[in-house]
Amino acid sequence: MRFLTKGDKLLISILFVMSLSSILYSLFLYPDHINKSAEVRVNGSLVKTMQLREGYREEYRIGGQHEYAIIEVNSGKVRIRQDDSPRQIGVQTGWISSPPQQIVNLPYRIVVTVVSSEAQDLDFIIK
């Protein structure tokens, strides 16, 4: 039976640390190379693109004193936080975060869609 020498143990340790460090490097420094964003469209026209990433927060107001909507991005999710439409359907939709989810506010013709640079894994979409 052969025992490991100090050199063998050192070589195994170095190879183990190198492989572990490359895995950790790819996981923690580049955890998500996929760019997700939320596209805000009013009347079919793109008015704002908001980045969806962890730790990022932004608000965007559409409209004036009347007929308004406030769109909020927080830590990779988006929602219509507040509007003055009668039924509040866009507000009740809540947070969305994965493509191709969307929020629709029909009274003011606002559509918020999550888009991604990653290829979709959907088999088909029925229209």
Q: pLDDT tens digit string along 7-58?
A: 888 999 999 998 888 887 766 665 555 688 999 999 999 999 999 988 899 9
Asked if residue 99 belongs to a domain, the reply is: yes
90 neighbors 111 (Cβ within 8 angstroms): no
Query: What's the rounded Cα separation, in Å, for the pair 79 and 52?
Result: 11
pTM (2 decimals)? 0.67
Report residue 56 as tokens. 């990022």
Asked if residue 123 belongs to a domain, the reply is: no
Report residue 53 as tokens. 């990433």
Q: What is the mean pLDDT of residues 110-116?
A: 93
CATH number for the domain that contains residue 76: 2.60.320.10
Domain containing 83 equals 36-116
Asked if residue 67 belongs to a domain, the reply is: yes
Asked if residue 8 belongs to a domain, the reply is: no
Number of independent structural domains in the chain: 1
Report residue 98 as tokens. 């994965």
